Amino acid sequence: MKINKKWISMLMKIVLSSLLLTMLYYKVDVNKFYNIIKSADIMIFSFALILFLVSQIISTFRWKMLLHTEKMNIHFYNLVGYCFIGMFFNLFMPTIVGGDVIRGYYLYKKSNMGSESAASIFVERLSGFFALMVIGLLSLIIGYSYIKDKPVIVMLLAFITLGFFAFLLLIANKGVRDRVNNFIKGGRLEWVRQKLKGISESIKRYRNHKDVVIRVIILSFIVQIIAISIVYFLSMSLNFNISLAYFFLFIPIVVVISMVPVTLSGLGVREFAFIFLFHKVGLGTTEALSLSLLWFSISVIASIFGGVIFLFSENPMSTIHKKAV
Give percent of the chain with pLDDT exceeding 90. 26
Give percent of the chain with pLDDT exceeding 70. 84
Contact between 71 and 323 (Cβ < 8 Å): no
pLDDT tens-digit series, residues 44-80: 999 999 999 999 999 999 999 988 887 888 889 889 9
Checking if the pLDDT of 114 tops 80, the result is: no
Contact between 110 and 321 (Cβ < 8 Å): yes
- Residue 29 gets the label, from left (phi > 0), alpha (psi -120 to 50) or beta, of beta
Helices (H), 143-238: 144-147, 151-172, 174-184, 190-204, 210-237
Contact between 269 and 20 (Cβ < 8 Å): yes
CA separation for the pair 257, 160 (Å, rounded) = 9
Q: What is the CA radius of gyration of the chain?
A: 21
CB under 8 Å to 127, separation ≥6 — which residues? Answer: 62, 213, 216, 217, 219, 220
Buried b (16+ CB within 10 A) or exposed e, 251-261: bbbbbbbbeee
From the centroid of its chain, how far is CA 272?
17
Collect contacts of 14-17 with beta carbons under 8 A, ≥24 apart. 14/264, 16/262, 16/263, 16/268, 17/263, 17/264, 17/265, 17/267, 17/268
Taking the model in full, what pTM does it have? 0.82
CA separation for the pair 178, 241 (Å, rounded) = 50
From the centroid of its chain, how far is CA 315?
25
Lowest-pLDDT choice from 41-50, 132-141, 212-221: 132-141
Q: Is 272 exposed, middle or buried (0-12, 13-18, 19+ CB in 10 A)?
A: buried
Mean pLDDT of the chain: 81
Checking if the pLDDT of 1 tops 50, the result is: no
> What is the CB neighbour count within 10 angstroms for residue 225?
15
Residue 318 has a pLDDT of 47
